[in-house]
Amino acid sequence: MSFVPANSGISKLKPYQPGKPISELERELGLTDIVKLASNENPLGCSDKVKEAVAAEIAEIGRYPDGGGFILKDQIKTQFGFNHDQITLGNGSNDLLEMFARAFVSSSDSVVYSQHAFAVYALVTQAINAQAIEVPAKGFSHDLEAMAAAIQDNTKLVFIANPNNPTGTWFEEAEFEAFMQKVPANVIVVLDEAYVEYFPENFNSLKFLQQYPNLIVSRTLSKCYGLAALRVGFALASVEVTDYLNRIRQPFNVNHLAMVAAVAALKDEDFIARSREVNKAGMAQLEAGFKALGLNYVPSRANFILVDVQADPAATFNGLLKQGVIVRPVGISSHIRVSIGTEAENAKFLSALATVLGLEAKA
Ligand SMILES: *Cc1c(COP(=O)(O)O)cnc(C)c1O
């Protein structure tokens, strides 16, 4: 390129591929009635209380939002028991993942994450031209022992997702604790819990924040809370870590309507309970559907499932598009990832999948 080149990290960067929007498929194929099961959104949308809260604040958008995020931090404090100086708000948790890398890693450092982990970890590492240490997965799961062993003298940060996207795999408290004990105190561990609301019985990571000042727990309002379009996430960490994050955070990174919506969403526990039920029922429906088609899947504790279609994932993805169903090929051989939808959406997907793969369901 003859024009001013980007920094060497960014010039090698391949941008994140988002799930295909419904509107795009409508334009391309002239289809209506499209089912999108590609981005792990809540099929119920968001709580009615969120809609009311946002509508009531719409006249306020002429003013800058509260850069300190007081109302949202206060709700997080009430609900999770952390003071404002331990909370960092993000324009989606994606914003936070980028802040973590920018705050703690420079180009001479390395970042550890797992094979088959969330794609953004590799992107934010590459953007600062740091060294990526991708640790082979154990089956489809994070190999926490190997990840601890992979930490080098120049490692500044480890990204872990529990449950992991795109595999849906998870680990238990004892494994995590054993891992944390092996990580040097000067290495930041990011525990990305984007899907924690779906299976809260797994384990409570928040208590480890007391014990490990190098731990950051990252949460999002995009998945179970149903606010993907508004972009809100938050990170809980020690006061020291939080202070660094807030030095690089854009002053108004979370907008006013997003904060108002997030407060209403966090308060509406019934909506979360209902979302969890719909997800459990949908998971059972998809698992039964896969079994009837003779397809293997990876057991999941999130709101999506990775299924082995025993075929080319790109061809399967394209075949499903023509049937009006958007799923996600995720770069894992012969697998696609499907988000759990409503009962009707799941049924449409299963029948489209059978058609595309030329399979017949056996009861
Ligand atoms: C979806 C997702 C996120 C990011 O979601 P935001 O919309 O940016 O909050 C973060 N981590 C994982 C593992 C995810 O799947």
- Cis peptide leading into 163, omega within 30 of 0? yes
Residue identifier of the C-alpha nearest atom 2 of ligand 1 = 194
Give the Å distance between the CA of 1 and the centre of ligand 1.
33
Report whether 181 contacts 312 (CB < 8 A).
no
183 vs 17, more confident: 183
**DSSP secondary structure string for all residues of 80-133:** H---GGGEEEESSHHHHHHHHHHHH--TTSEEEEETT--HHHHHHHHHTTPEEE
Q: Using 50, 70 and 90 to split pLDDT, how confident is the model at 30?
A: confident
Tell me how far apart the alpha carbons of residues 319 and 223 are, in angstroms, rounded to a whole number.
Answer: 26
> Which of 17, 123, 165, 234 to mutate for ligand 1's pocket (most ligand atoms within 8 Å of CB)?
165
Q: Residue 49 above 90 pLDDT?
A: yes
> Which of 223, 224, 330 to mutate for ligand 1's pocket (most ligand atoms within 8 Å of CB)?
223
Report whether 279 contacts 301 (CB < 8 A).
no
Report whether 245 contacts 103 (CB < 8 A).
yes
pLDDT attached to residue 28: 86
Q: Residue 18 above 90 pLDDT?
A: no
Cβ of 193 closer than 6 Å to ligand 1, yes or no, is no
Q: Which two tokens stand for residue 121?
A: 């970890």
Q: Which two tokens stand for residue 24?
A: 């795009």
Fold topology of 15-43+268-355 = Aspartate Aminotransferase, domain 1 (3.90.1150)
Tell me how far apart the alpha carbons of residues 293 and 37 are, in angstroms, rounded to a whole number.
Answer: 19
Q: What is the pLDDT of residues 216-270, one digit of tens each?
A: 999 999 999 999 999 999 999 999 999 999 999 999 999 999 999 999 999 999 9
pLDDT attached to residue 111: 98
Query: For residue 11, what is the enclosing H or E element?
Result: helix 8-11
Across the chain, mean pLDDT equals 95
Q: Residue 175 above 80 pLDDT?
A: yes
pLDDT attached to residue 31: 83
- Cα first-last separation, the chain: 58
Q: Residue 308 above 60 pLDDT?
A: yes
Q: Residue 14 above 90 pLDDT?
A: no
Which CA distances in Å does 327 have to 21, 25, 75, 242, 302?
11, 12, 34, 36, 16
> Which of 94, 171, 306 to mutate for ligand 1's pocket (most ligand atoms within 8 Å of CB)?
94
Ligand 1, atom nearest to 232 Cα: 9
Q: Residue 1 above 70 pLDDT?
A: no
Cβ of 155 closer than 6 Å to ligand 1, yes or no, is no
Tell me how far apart the alpha carbons of residues 168 and 142 are, in angstroms, rounded to a whole number.
Answer: 11
pLDDT attached to residue 33: 87
Fold topology of 59-266 = Aspartate Aminotransferase; domain 2 (3.40.640)
Q: Residue 278 above 90 pLDDT?
A: yes
Q: Using 50, 70 and 90 to split pLDDT, how confident is the model at 2?
A: low
Cβ of 233 closer than 6 Å to ligand 1, yes or no, is yes
Record the pTM.
Answer: 0.95
Q: Using 50, 70 and 90 to split pLDDT, how confident is the model at 20?
A: confident
Give the Å distance between the CA of 351 and the centre of ligand 1.
29
2-16, 104-118, 151-165, 314-328: the lowest-pLDDT one? 2-16
26 vs 121, more confident: 121
Cβ of 161 closer than 6 Å to ligand 1, yes or no, is yes
Q: Residue 327 above 90 pLDDT?
A: yes
Report whether 130 contacts 106 (CB < 8 A).
yes
Domain boundaries, the chain: 15-43+268-355, 59-266
Q: What is the pLDDT of residues 82-108, one digit of tens each?
A: 999 999 999 999 999 999 999 999 999
Closest of 360, 339, 353 to residue 37, by C-alpha: 339
Alpha-carbon torsion (315, 318, 323, 326), positive or negative: positive
Intrachain domains 15-43+268-355 and 59-266 with the same fold: no
Q: Using 50, 70 and 90 to split pLDDT, how confident is the model at 11?
A: confident
Tell me how far apart the alpha carbons of residues 117 and 142 are, in angstroms, rounded to a whole number.
Answer: 8
Q: What is the pLDDT of residues 193-214, one digit of tens each?
A: 999 999 988 889 999 999 999 9
Q: Which two tokens stand for residue 234?
A: 């938050």
